[in-house]
Every structure is written in structure tokens, then in C-alpha cells.
Structure 1
Amino acid sequence: MQFGVHLANSGPNARPESIVALAVKADELGFSSIWVSDHVVIPTQMTSEYPYGRDRGFIVENVANYYEPLTTMTYCAAATQQVRIGTCVLVLPYRNPVLTAKMIATLDAFSGGRVILGAGSGWFAEEFAALQAPPFEARGEVTDEWIEIFRKLWKQREPRHEGKHYRFESLRCEPKPAQAGGPPVWIGGHSKGALRRVGEKGDGWLAVRITPEQIAEGATSIRRAADSAKRDADRIALVVWVNMELGVQPAGAPAPGHLCGTPDEVYRAIAAYRAVGVSHMVVSVPADRAPEALERFAATVLRRFS
């Protein structure tokens, strides 16, 4: 079981110095990865429902201060030595696929092959409109095509592409990533389309704040899609991103993917995820006391999974 740390690159407590300090702390404590999330703008008028919270709410004031993920990753890569650096997740349809592939390859080269691309299709229709991105309704097929383009550019010497949403003639796009074939692509989302995408194209599934039972159910769908695509489902990593609050006892039942309580209680909660095949867990800790929370987690829980 490996553990990553979400760096909270948004919100009122997000500052360059605190983000980098937490990245360095995670590296020093032996976490395997650090992660940042993605929004470009936050429209203040919205009807879209946030898909990853119990109440489906998305509070603008909590996320308006949002640092761009690839730039943040680059700075954190320069400040760390061992941790892998990832996105959870990069919304692919927001970006030009050729330029994005180039940026990711460059970051992978400079970091010594430490990039993991967490990729998603997005949920925020108003943000799609603000960015003049491809149509929101086409985001799934655009994401599929962008992943195909990335891998062509990362693997082939003179790729060409003729797709529904993007075309280019033979070209050179170098340097290639440090990782042969490009960084692993861990696909986010819980919809039928997302799980199909994981099985057909993903190196991993990056689930967000769901239960072990939901992980097991999703893994069954992924295996079915992988089998249809003649891929080995056992090579697809199961990853979950959770909230972590050691020492906090909730008033009622904790929300799905919210791990809290004593170190023993948190250990047992993590073990339940491991039992259904999760190999990597990304933890978010309270931003206002993140370094101390990481140190406590490393001392009381992380070492038990070494």
C-alpha cells in the first residue's frame, strides 16, 4: 500500500510557500506521491452539481484561489527528490492536446520520470463555457481522443492523427517523456463512461471519496471493460483519494471517503480499502494544520503499512 498527499492548491489557506513546504514534508516523511487538482476559473453562477461530495455543494469562496496544476507541479518537482507528482485530476478537454502532451513530457523529463497523469473529463459545464472548450456534451469522447493523442506524441517519432475532434499531419514533438511510453494515466470519475474509459485506456482508476464497497463495484465494471478491450485488468491500479482527520470523532456517521478517529480506527478503515484491491491512497488533511497532521499520520499509521 502506497500513500500520496494532496497539496490543497486551492482555497483560503493555499499559498505558494505552504504548498511547497507540504510537498517537501511529504517527501521527507516517505510518502510516495504528491497531488494537485484542477480548475482554471470558477464561474460564480452555476447549476452544475459537484459530483464528489455528500451534499453536492461547491462553495466558490473555498476554491476561488486556485493555483494552476502543471505550473505548481513543476515548482514542487524542483523542491523534492523522490515523490512522484500527479494531478487528481487534470480536466483534459480544457486544454489543447498537443501543447498539454508537450508540457507533461517536459515535466516528466525535468523531474526524472516522476509524473502520474490523473485525467478526467470534467463536470463543470459553466467552466467549459467560460474556457470555450469543446462542447460539454462531448467531453467523454474528447477525453478519449486526447489520451490517444498524448500517447501517440509520447511514443511515436513522427505521429499523425485524424480524429473527430482533432487532426494533425506528421510532426515531431520532442523531447519524449523520461518514462518510456509516457507517464501512467490514472483516470478519474465514477460514471459508466469513466469506468469504461479506465478499462479500455487507463493505467489506473483514481476514485474520489467513495467506500470500499463502491470501489469493489467499480472494479467489476472496469474488469468487464478491460476484458472486452483485450487488456489485463490486473495491471490497472485501483487508487482512492480520501479526507483524513486523525483524532476527530464525527458527530454522526462519517461521509464516504472521510477517514477519522483514532490511529487504530483509521488503520482499519485503510485496511478495508486494501482488502478490495486498492494499492495507492491519496490523503487530504486539514489545510490549516497540514504539516502536523502529516507527521502524526506518518508516525501512527503510515509506518504500519511499510
Structure 2
Amino acid sequence: MTTRLGLALPQMKQYDLGRDVPDVARAAEAVGYDSLWVFERALFPDPPAQGLYGVEGLAWPDAYRGVAEPLVTLTLAAAATRRAELGTSVLVAPLHTPFQLAKALASLDAASGGRVVAGLGTGWSLDEYAAASARPFEERGEALDEVIEVCRAVWGPDPVVLDGTLTKIASAVVGPKPARPIPILLAANTGKARRRLVDHADGWMPVGMGVEQLTVQWRQLQDLAAERGRTRPLRTVLRTNLRYSPKPYAGDDRGPFQGAVEQIVEDLVAHAEVGLDEIFLDLQSEVRDAEELKDVAAEVYEAARAAGV
């Protein structure tokens, strides 16, 4: 079975949003990519309250000084394409009011003909929570739970009735409805988060940190699903943050998805053998502009398919 391949859209500050997003989206779909992806970075704290990913001393990359809003970016891509799925990896769900997020995702899915994939997470930035969240950082898990509950209700049949912590709907007609049930995928890597995924989500969005670690995590998740009596299959989409270079990386310490196209494809082959449904590539921080992004993306896609991915 061929692994689906996706590409991250250009959202960072070096790109022209209105020009480059539709251009890259059209080019990726024409090459053969199955999906287009966005991520969320609400702001760039200067100075930050914490390091990147909450790791003390780890600097935020300069490219985060101006990351385009994810659903606006996907809307631009939706208007420029006809086939490719439109995914978020990930939306920091608690930074959004649950009802408004559910309505926006439903509208985008209806407009695009049923192509939205909602990848959600809780985030980690204290600065982003202070600026945007309706609930405190300490309640991020509960906030994500409510977003999922509200989405399921709003996307379902009318009348919508819901009594949540933030969202109170006595009885209402809420439209437009999605063109089809929008899959909800979670980036879960802790015990509680994995239980939430197995019980309430449609799939899993890991990050490519190496085949061995991925294999262990996937096996653990499958075991947990069996323990909790889940019978529906889990859709799996692997995010890979590429560290592309025109020349092969020569050191013994090469990390996953680091180096030239042939090295990246070697890692794609290895990760595809784990048996996940889809892998998507984020190249945008490693290239000069949209033209190079399109060129490298096309080269990687063709080489990966030639290698059997």
C-alpha cells in the first residue's frame, strides 16, 4: 500500500502569504501531493517566558516572527486547489473559542468539498495562553476536551444542544455543516493524552523523531486502543520537520530527515515501513523562498515515489 504524502504550506515571515500560499498549493497538488498542512504559532514573545517547546534555554527560531494564521492560510490553499486534503498540524485548540473554531472548520470543509483534517493539540507556550486563551494553561487538557465535544455537536444534526464549561447552546440550528464528518487527529504523547485520543479522536499525529521511537509509540497506542475496547481504526499522519541541505550531510550524528534529498528519502522509506497512513513534509524553514520550496518538494516527492514510498 502506498503511503500518502503531504506538504506544509509556507506560513513563515519570509513568504508572501497572498502570492506564495496559492502558488505552492497548486504546484504541490499538480506534482501529486495528497494533502497540504499548516501549523499554529500565535506570537513571538520577546523576551519569552520560556524556551521553545518549554525547554529552558532553547531559543525560538527567528522564522516564528510572523507565522500566518492557520485557517486563513488553509482558506487560500482551498481556493487554489481541488483535490488535496487540508490539514492542521496542529491547531492549538485552547487558543480558540470552541464554538467559533467548530464553525470555522465546518465552513472551510463545506467550501472545499469535504477536505479538512482537524489536527488539534494543547500547545505549550505560556505567552500564547496569556494572550489568547479563554482558559488558563493549567486547564489546557479540559479545554481541548471541550473543543472536541463542541465540534462533534456543532458538526452533527440540528438542533444542537450543549451545556459545556464555556459553550452553552440551549437549542439551535448551526450551519453550514461539514461536507462529511471532519476527522479529528491529536498529537498525543502522554498517558492522559493518549487515552483522550483513543476514546474521542479519529487518529494520531506523531512527529518524526526516529524510526525506533515511532515504532514503540505506535505499538503502545495500538495496545492502549485494544485495552480500551476501541474497534475503529486509528488514522495516522506523521509530521516530519525537514532539515534540508543541497549537499549530503556527512557527519555520523545525522538526525532524522536531515540532509540532501537522497538522505531524506532514505528516512521516508524507513518511516513508511512502520505502517502509518500518511507522512507530510515541512520544508518551509529550510529554503530561501517559495520557488526553492516548490523545486525541493517536487524532487523529494518524485524520489520518494521512485523508492517505493
Normalised TM-score (structure 2): 0.88
Aligned residue in 1 for 2:33: 31
Could you tell me how far 1:39 is from its partner in structure 2?
2.1
1:114-145 CA distance string (max 9 Å, x none)? 11111111111111001243110110121012
Supply the distance in 2 between the matched residues of 1:258 and 1:42 (Cα, whole angstroms).
26
Question: 2:208 touches 2:214 (CA, 8 Å); kept in 1?
Answer: no
Aligned residue in 2 for 1:40: 42
Identical residues among aligned pairs (%)? 27
Which letter does structure 2 place at the counterpart of 1:238?
T
Matched, 1:58 2:60: yes
Alignment of 1:148-163 (within 5 A): 148-163=149-164
1:124 to 1:52, Cα distance in 2 relative to 1, 3 A: closer
Could you tell me how far 1:225 is from its partner in structure 2?
3.5
Supply the distance in 2 between the matched residues of 1:160 and 1:56 (Cα, whole angstroms).
44
Supply the distance in 1 between the matched residues of 2:270 and 2:173 (Cα, whole angstroms).
47
Supply the distance in 2 between the matched residues of 1:107 and 1:171 (Cα, whole angstroms).
20
Secondary structure of 2:142's aligned partner: helix
Ranges of 4+ aligned residues in structure 1 off by more than 4 Å? none
Question: 2:9 touches 2:38 (CA, 8 Å); kept in 1?
Answer: yes
Supply the distance in 1 between the matched residues of 2:77 and 2:24 (Cα, whole angstroms).
9
1:133 to 1:49, Cα distance in 2 relative to 1, 3 A: farther
Which letter does structure 1 place at the counterpart of 2:272?
R
1:121 to 1:292, Cα distance in 2 relative to 1, 3 A: same
Question: 2:43 touches 2:66 (CA, 8 Å); kept in 1?
Answer: no
Which letter does structure 1 place at the counterpart of 2:259?
C
Aligned residue in 1 for 2:87: 86
Question: 2:6 touches 2:35 (CA, 8 Å); kept in 1?
Answer: yes
Aligned residue in 2 for 1:300: 303
1:37-57 CA distance string (max 9 Å, x none)? 11222222323343399x843
Secondary structure of 1:160's aligned partner: strand
Could you tell me how far 1:201 is from its partner in structure 2?
1.9
Could you tell me how far 1:77 is from its partner in structure 2?
0.5
Aligned residue in 2 for 1:250: 249
86-95 vs 5-14, which moves further: 5-14
Which letter does structure 2 place at the counterpart of 1:10?
M
Aligned residue in 1 for 2:235: 237
Could you tell me how far 1:62 is from its partner in structure 2?
1.5
Which letter does structure 1 place at the counterpart of 2:298?
E
RMSD after superposition: 2.3
1:5 to 1:78, Cα distance in 2 relative to 1, 3 A: same
Aligned residue in 2 for 1:138: 139
Could you tell me how far 1:281 is from its partner in structure 2?
0.6
Question: 2:203 touches 2:236 (CA, 8 Å); kept in 1?
Answer: yes
Give the number of aligned pairs. 300
Could you tell me how far 1:228 is from its partner in structure 2?
4.3
Secondary structure of 1:207's aligned partner: coil
Could you tell me how far 1:27 is from its partner in structure 2?
0.5
Question: 1:246 touches 1:293 (CA, 8 Å); kept in 2?
Answer: no
Supply the distance in 2 between the matched residues of 1:275 and 1:173 (Cα, whole angstroms).
42
Matched, 1:99 2:100: yes
